């Protein structure tokens, strides 16, 4: 554990949504890397049973290279975001998240800012709401239930991303700081790895292999990565 001093800041209560990203695209004409390249990574369990064979990721075969997948076609060309205005925008890389943040006058939060906000005023609690994952049997976040990656019982109500206010907020009024989608932060993971920190876990996290929905847990990804389980929220300086 280390102590980090941070200045006053504000941070979005929710992940940036499809509706908010659409407003950005309409105003600026922004085109994402996934749209330009024509593909992104999609969790195979969200694809139809009759979906054509696709390339997988070695060691993580549940990730599929799906042609035509991007923020407005999250599972490929057979899908769209109709009815998902309040879902977190996905298939957005680090630079694209930064571009949106600048457009709204903000920036991506530092890792320290993200954790400060995610803790919601609790001191060293395991989760944003306390130390018990399901207090009194209540689901507090969108993560995997069952046996990963073959069986998801969806006891929390979702097998993919959920609307951004589906679960109670933490003590600071922030939603989805555990589960739903990973969140880009401004920081590099370390001095050697050229990867940006992501925090919070996603709907694919499960205790058997990835319990990084814990508020103190870290992970990372390359800045140009686009997947169906990484989103972001915006921070603002308070000077």
Domain range for 159: 9-237
| Residue 34 is assigned to a structural domain of this protein | yes
| Residue 1 is assigned to a structural domain of this protein | no
Evaluate whether 54 touches 75 at the Cβ level (below 8 Å).
Answer: no
Number of domains in the chain: 1
Give the phi and the psi of residue 183 in degrees, each rounded to 5: -130, 125
Instruction: Work out the mean pLDDT of the chain and round it to a whole number.
Output: 96
CA distance 163 to 150: 24
| Residue 221 is assigned to a structural domain of this protein | yes
| Residue 99 is assigned to a structural domain of this protein | yes
- 167-189 mean pLDDT: 98
DSSP element (H, E) containing 179 = none
| Residue 194 is assigned to a structural domain of this protein | yes
Name the pTM for this structure: 0.96
Q: How does pLDDT run across 209-228, given as a tens digit for each residue?
A: 889 999 999 999 999 999 99
Q: How does pLDDT run across 118-152, given as a tens digit for each residue?
A: 999 999 999 999 999 999 999 999 999 999 999 99
Q: How does pLDDT run across 13-33, given as a tens digit for each residue?
A: 999 999 999 999 999 999 999
| Residue 3 is assigned to a structural domain of this protein | no
If pLDDT is split at 50, 70 and 90, which confidence band does 1 have?
Answer: low
The whole-number pLDDT of residue 193 equals 79
As given in the structure block, the two tokens for residue 30 are 């922004």
User: Any idea what the CATH number is for the domain that residue 199 is in?
Assistant: 3.90.1580.10
| Residue 188 is assigned to a structural domain of this protein | yes
CA distance 103 to 203: 28
| Residue 149 is assigned to a structural domain of this protein | yes
Contacts of 91 (CB under 8 A, 6+ apart): 32, 34, 40, 69, 70, 71, 74, 226, 227, 228
């Amino acid at each position: 554990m280390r102590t980090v001093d941070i200045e006053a800041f504000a941070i979005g209560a929710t992940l940036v949504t499809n509706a908010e990203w659409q407003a950005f695209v309409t105003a600026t004409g922004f085109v994402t890397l996934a749209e330009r390249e024509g593909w992104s990574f999609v969790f195979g369990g969200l694809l139809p049973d009759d979906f054509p064979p696709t390339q997988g990721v070695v060691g993580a075969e549940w990730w599929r290279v799906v042609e035509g997948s991007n923020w407005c076609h999250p599972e490929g060309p057979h899908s769209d975001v109709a009815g998902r205005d309040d879902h977190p925008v996905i298939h957005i890389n680090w630079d694209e998240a930064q571009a949106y943040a600048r457009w709204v006058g903000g920036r991506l939060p530092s890792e320290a800012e993200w954790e400060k906000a995610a803790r919601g005023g609790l001191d060293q609690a395991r989760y944003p709401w306390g130390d018990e994952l399901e207090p009194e049997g209540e689901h507090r976040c969108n993560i995997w239930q069952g046996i990963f990656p073959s069986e998801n019982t969806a006891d929390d109500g979702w097998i993919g991303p959920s609307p951004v206010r589906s679960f109670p907020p933490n003590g600071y009024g922030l939603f989805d700081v555990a589960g739903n989608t990973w969140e880009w932060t401004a920081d590099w993971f370390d001095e050697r790895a050229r990867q940006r920190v992501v925090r919070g876990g996603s709907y694919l996290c499960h205790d058997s292999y990835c319990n990084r929905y814990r508020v103190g847990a870290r992970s990372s990804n390359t800045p140009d990565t686009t997947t169906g389980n990484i989103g972001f929220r915006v921070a603002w300086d308070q000077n």
